[in-house]
């Protein structure tokens, strides 16, 4: 079984994956690292465990919002342009999430 090395918050992790999934896992790891770096910039180095929990919750929130937006954009749609509607909904969800993350980061700075 292949594995990849991911660097998250300047720590290196070896993660096993299915054959052919190495590039995908590397992209996912880079995304998680990016989110961790954003959190560190907002709240500082509060510890790996807390940063990983915060990033996990933010990513889960992104996913939840994306699903909700996709579901909402699909209702009442006659099937035409559903792929474009889904992409637009995900984009809107990510923009809304970015605004919420900035708000939370500001609140954390002042607490």
The pLDDT, as a whole number, for residue 38 is 92
What's the pTM value of the predicted model, to 2 decimals?
0.62
The parent domain of residue 48 ranges over 3-109
The string of pLDDT tens digits covering residues 2-56 is 999 999 999 999 999 899 999 999 999 999 999 999 999 999 999 888 998 899 8
Number of residues that make up the chain: 111
Q: How many domains does the chain have?
A: 1
Distances (CA, A) of 57 to 61, 69, 107, 108: 6, 18, 16, 15
**What number of CA atoms fall less than 13 Å from residue 93's CA on the CB side?**
22
3-state helix, strand, coil in the chain (%, to 5): 70, 10, 20
The string of pLDDT tens digits covering residues 57-90 is 888 888 888 888 888 877 555 555 555 566 676 6
Give the CA dihedral 84, 61, 96, 9, nearest 10 degrees. Answer: -110
Query: What residues contact 31, with CB distance under 8 A and at least 6 apart?
Result: 59
């Amino acid at each position: 079984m292949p594995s990849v090395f991911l660097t998250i918050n300047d720590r290196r992790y070896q993660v096993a994956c299915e054959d052919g999934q190495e590039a995908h896992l590397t992209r996912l790891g880079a995304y998680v690292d990016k989110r961790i770096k954003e959190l560190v910039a907002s709240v500082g180095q509060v510890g790996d465990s807390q940063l990983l929990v915060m990033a996990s919750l933010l990513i889960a929130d992104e996913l939840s919002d994306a699903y909700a937006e996709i579901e909402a954009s699909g209702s009442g749609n006659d099937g035409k342009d559903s792929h474009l509607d889904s992409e637009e909904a995900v984009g809107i969800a990510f923009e809304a999430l970015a605004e919420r993350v900035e708000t939370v980061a500001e609140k954390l700075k002042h607490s």
